[in-house]
Structure 1
Amino acid sequence: MQTGLVSITFRQLGVDDVLGVMRRAGLVAVEWGGDVHVPAGDVAAAKRTAQASADHGVRIVAYGSYYRTGEHDPGDFDDVLRTAVALGAPRIRIWAGSAGSADATPEQRERVTTDLRRITELAGRDGVEIAVEHHPNTLTDTLDSALALYAAVDHPGLRPYWQPRLGLDPAEAMDEVTALLPGLVTAHVFTWTADGARLPLADGAALWEPVLGTLRERGDAERYALLEFVPDDDPEALVRDAVTLREWLAGS
């Protein structure tokens, strides 16, 4: 697995500063966020960021958009896709609506599904995959709902992302990750308490070591472990967490 960063971890830093922190941390892959660093529609910023990433030897593995299927104006995705292509991102991260699986009406679920299929087909024409964030208050807030969504869309260009929900225990985490393979290629890696306080990554060893071990041992795809949400948004915390992540991936 390749180690990297979700750039929104450091919204307070510019692109060059983010890349500098990544260099210090020894991280080689990045998901650039669309809210601050590479805004949707700003093709010039995307091209500048692509060049800066290449100059630092950092591989762009995703464009982190905030497009919500079934909720945003369908035309909004055009800017997202255009920006991702200019950035050279192989996949775009999106959100599955804005209603949780327990609250979504059949009509809402159908809108999300239809739009997700549409943008996956559209992105595929440019060789770009769609990756769905597993996130609360969306249709991927439970494993069963996420699997039903992926089955309904039924498109090879659709990929699940994975991150642990608050309070998820290690056994549940393993069940989710195993169920999402082989399509799962990226995990957002962080450690939080059940009430949302950020901790050093090492405090989540009981969850992350088996999860990352399972992903690492799969030889059927290149996969990425992207650090996110470090305590206090502190670059020094990223450097520390990157050491932990590499140790786990080395099996030490």
Structure 2
Amino acid sequence: MTVVPGLVSVTFRRLGVAEIVALVAGAGLRAVEWGGDVHVPSPPVAREVALRCADAGLEIAAYGSYYRGGPGFADVLATAVALGAPRIRVWAGRHGSAAEPDRAAVVADLARAAAQAAGEGVEVCLEYHANTLTDTLESTMELLRAVPAVRSYWQPPVGDRPATALAAVQALRPVTAHVFSWDDAGTRLPLAAGESLWRPVLGALGELPGTRYALLEFVRDDDPAAFAEDAATLLGWLRPEWIDGDQG
């Protein structure tokens, strides 16, 4: 049972890789999910980023792609392999579960992607997000049953309540939670404002077998100082035995 704290790199789209590595290491976090649209767009860049992370003692949690189906997955996979990422985050199509005109096509594409990735020792994980087939817990669970090779991420939808959030995490058993705090209008708040939601959720992650990730995202004003504050809050909520992987 391990919960690895880290950062989603696209939290800081205007910062370079070296700056992000320094921020994460300086905050005492342990992992980065590297975004494919800004920071790691190609295999040559991926190899450089992998070396920087190794030098800083940081784990690569995932390759955060914006793949939504169709052509292009081979390039995504090649970059993830060059990065040394154990998993690729993808989006489940381009429409919400109530609007998707061809759910079967999205399922088939995800199955193909997962099979290709497995051949390289990489797993495919689903962003838990509006306007995709993971926009509700029920639709996500159906998708996971249809494509058993993929795993789920989780993040709190705007307006989510603690009991609902905890129920979703317990059902999905996500490999990664993207950690942030918003009010009901989507305004970013200090992470500490979400304590009533995040403490139970992190507790549920900490009780799951294997390694899970708690990755900060959406800090106030994209401000490194706000990130440092949120990182300290997150570390304060995680039990030492979760971070260190103490099975007891």
Q: Normalised by the size of structure 2, how large is the TM-score?
A: 0.94
Asked if residue 198 in structure 1 is aligned to residue 198 in structure 2, the reply is: no
Equivalent position to 2:93, from 97, 106, 112: 97
Asked if residue 242 in structure 1 is aligned to residue 236 in structure 2, the reply is: no
Asked if residue 180 in structure 1 is aligned to residue 177 in structure 2, the reply is: no
CA RMSD, aligned part only?
1.0
Secondary structure class of the residue paired with 1:89: coil
User: What is the rounded CA distance, in whole Å, between the counterparts of 1:26 and 1:238 in structure 2?
Assistant: 12
Q: Return the offset for 1:250.
A: 2.3
What's 2:205 paired with? Answer: 215
Asked if residue 166 in structure 1 is aligned to residue 158 in structure 2, the reply is: yes
User: What is the rounded CA distance, in whole Å, between the counterparts of 1:113 and 1:217 in structure 2?
Assistant: 30
User: What is the rounded CA distance, in whole Å, between the counterparts of 1:94 and 1:120 in structure 2?
Assistant: 10
What's 2:7 paired with? Answer: 5
Asked if residue 61 in structure 1 is aligned to residue 61 in structure 2, the reply is: yes
Q: Which amino acid aligns with 1:228?
A: E
Deviations 1:12-44 (A, max 9, x none): 0000000111122111101000010001xx211
Matched length: 238
User: What is the rounded CA distance, in whole Å, between the counterparts of 1:43 and 1:2 in structure 2?
Assistant: 25
Q: Return the offset for 1:154.
A: 2.4
What's 1:114 paired with? Answer: 108
Secondary structure class of the residue paired with 1:112: helix
User: What is the rounded CA distance, in whole Å, between the counterparts of 1:125 and 1:225 in structure 2?
Assistant: 27
Q: Return the offset for 1:195.
A: 1.3
Larger RCO (CA under 8 A, 6+ residues apart): 2
Deviations 1:161-184 (A, max 9, x none): 000000111111011000012xx2
Report sequence identity in percent: 56
Q: Which amino acid aligns with 2:22?
A: G
Deviations 1:173-225 (A, max 9, x none): 011000012xx21100000111111000000011100000111122x111110
User: What is the rounded CA distance, in whole Å, between the counterparts of 1:126 and 1:104 in structure 2?
Assistant: 30
What's 1:16 paired with? Answer: 18
Asked if residue 51 in structure 1 is aligned to residue 51 in structure 2, the reply is: yes
Secondary structure class of the residue paired with 1:198: coil
User: Which 4+ residue blocks in structure 1 deviate beyond 4 angstroms?
Assistant: none
Q: Normalised by the size of structure 1, how large is the TM-score?
A: 0.93
Q: Which amino acid aligns with 1:99?
A: H
User: What is the rounded CA distance, in whole Å, between the counterparts of 1:98 and 1:195 in structure 2?
Assistant: 23
Secondary structure class of the residue paired with 1:93: strand
Asked if residue 77 in structure 1 is aligned to residue 73 in structure 2, the reply is: yes
What's 1:28 paired with? Answer: 30
User: What is the rounded CA distance, in whole Å, between the counterparts of 1:103 and 1:82 in structure 2?
Assistant: 32
Q: Return the offset for 1:137.
A: 0.2
